[in-house]
Amino acid sequence: MTFGWVLLLVTLASYRLTRLVVDDTFPPVQWVRDRVVGDDPAVPRWRGVPTWVGDLVSCSWCASVWVSAGVTALTWVWIGLPVPLLVWAGAATGAAWLSHLEEYFQR
Protein backbone atom coordinates (compact mmCIF):
# COMPACT_ATOMS: atom_id res chain seq x y z
CA MET A 1 0.00 0.00 0.00
CA THR A 2 1.41 3.39 -0.94
CA PHE A 3 2.06 6.14 1.56
CA GLY A 4 -0.70 8.32 0.12
CA TRP A 5 -3.35 5.64 0.71
CA VAL A 6 -2.12 5.05 4.25
CA LEU A 7 -2.29 8.79 4.98
CA LEU A 8 -5.80 8.99 3.52
CA LEU A 9 -7.02 5.99 5.53
CA VAL A 10 -5.45 7.25 8.76
CA THR A 11 -7.08 10.64 8.19
CA LEU A 12 -10.52 9.16 7.49
CA ALA A 13 -10.29 6.80 10.47
CA SER A 14 -9.23 9.72 12.68
CA TYR A 15 -12.14 11.80 11.41
CA ARG A 16 -14.66 9.03 12.08
CA LEU A 17 -13.37 8.32 15.58
CA THR A 18 -13.22 12.06 16.35
CA ARG A 19 -16.86 12.35 15.30
CA LEU A 20 -17.72 9.39 17.53
CA VAL A 21 -16.05 11.04 20.52
CA VAL A 22 -17.33 14.58 19.96
CA ASP A 23 -20.69 14.48 18.16
CA ASP A 24 -22.29 11.07 17.78
CA THR A 25 -25.37 10.07 19.75
CA PHE A 26 -24.35 6.42 20.11
CA PRO A 27 -25.78 5.76 23.60
CA PRO A 28 -22.71 4.36 25.42
CA VAL A 29 -20.45 7.10 24.08
CA GLN A 30 -23.00 9.85 24.68
CA TRP A 31 -23.58 8.63 28.25
CA VAL A 32 -19.86 8.91 29.06
CA ARG A 33 -19.48 12.23 27.20
CA ASP A 34 -22.43 13.77 29.08
CA ARG A 35 -20.84 12.89 32.41
CA VAL A 36 -17.39 14.12 31.41
CA VAL A 37 -18.51 17.40 29.81
CA GLY A 38 -21.14 18.26 32.42
CA ASP A 39 -23.17 20.72 30.31
CA ASP A 40 -26.56 19.34 31.36
CA PRO A 41 -27.55 20.24 34.95
CA ALA A 42 -29.79 17.16 35.10
CA VAL A 43 -26.82 14.84 34.47
CA PRO A 44 -24.29 14.66 37.30
CA ARG A 45 -20.73 15.39 36.24
CA TRP A 46 -18.14 12.83 37.28
CA ARG A 47 -15.99 13.93 40.17
CA GLY A 48 -12.26 13.88 39.70
CA VAL A 49 -12.43 14.53 35.96
CA PRO A 50 -10.68 17.82 35.18
CA THR A 51 -12.66 20.41 33.23
CA TRP A 52 -10.06 20.39 30.46
CA VAL A 53 -11.07 16.80 29.65
CA GLY A 54 -14.64 18.00 29.10
CA ASP A 55 -13.35 20.75 26.85
CA LEU A 56 -11.27 18.20 24.95
CA VAL A 57 -14.18 15.88 24.17
CA SER A 58 -16.44 18.73 23.09
CA CYS A 59 -14.02 20.28 20.54
CA SER A 60 -13.38 18.53 17.23
CA TRP A 61 -10.08 20.36 16.68
CA CYS A 62 -8.83 19.36 20.14
CA ALA A 63 -10.04 15.78 20.07
CA SER A 64 -8.75 15.15 16.55
CA VAL A 65 -5.16 15.71 17.70
CA TRP A 66 -5.36 12.97 20.32
CA VAL A 67 -7.50 10.58 18.30
CA SER A 68 -5.08 10.96 15.37
CA ALA A 69 -2.18 10.25 17.71
CA GLY A 70 -3.77 6.95 18.69
CA VAL A 71 -4.67 5.95 15.13
CA THR A 72 -1.19 6.90 13.89
CA ALA A 73 0.48 4.97 16.71
CA LEU A 74 -1.58 1.86 15.99
CA THR A 75 -0.84 2.13 12.27
CA TRP A 76 2.86 2.64 12.97
CA VAL A 77 2.97 -0.48 15.16
CA TRP A 78 0.79 -2.55 12.83
CA ILE A 79 2.15 -1.79 9.36
CA GLY A 80 4.92 0.73 9.95
CA LEU A 81 5.12 4.35 8.84
CA PRO A 82 8.13 6.15 7.41
CA VAL A 83 7.33 9.51 9.07
CA PRO A 84 4.77 8.97 11.87
CA LEU A 85 4.95 12.54 13.23
CA LEU A 86 4.08 13.99 9.83
CA VAL A 87 1.26 11.48 9.41
CA TRP A 88 -0.04 12.43 12.85
CA ALA A 89 -0.02 16.16 12.02
CA GLY A 90 -1.62 15.61 8.62
CA ALA A 91 -4.29 13.26 9.94
CA ALA A 92 -5.18 15.59 12.82
CA THR A 93 -5.55 18.54 10.49
CA GLY A 94 -7.50 16.56 7.90
CA ALA A 95 -9.85 15.10 10.50
CA ALA A 96 -10.57 18.53 11.98
CA TRP A 97 -11.17 20.05 8.53
CA LEU A 98 -13.56 17.25 7.63
CA SER A 99 -15.45 17.82 10.88
CA HIS A 100 -15.84 21.50 10.17
CA LEU A 101 -16.83 20.89 6.55
CA GLU A 102 -19.53 18.56 7.81
CA GLU A 103 -20.78 21.22 10.25
CA TYR A 104 -20.75 23.83 7.48
CA PHE A 105 -22.81 21.70 5.09
CA GLN A 106 -25.32 20.74 7.79
CA ARG A 107 -26.29 24.38 8.38
**What are the respective helix, strand and coil percentages of the chain, to the nearest 5?**
75, 0, 25
Distances (CA, A) of 81 to 8, 15, 60, 64, 73: 13, 19, 25, 19, 9
pLDDT digits (tens, 9 = 90+) for 5-47: 999 999 999 999 999 999 888 999 999 888 888 777 778 888 8
Instruction: Give the per-residue pLDDT at 49.
Output: 85
Report the amino acid identity of residue 34.
Answer: D
Helices (H) and strands (E) in the chain, counts: 5, 0
Q: If DSSP codes are grouped into helix, strand and coil, which group holds residue 72?
A: helix
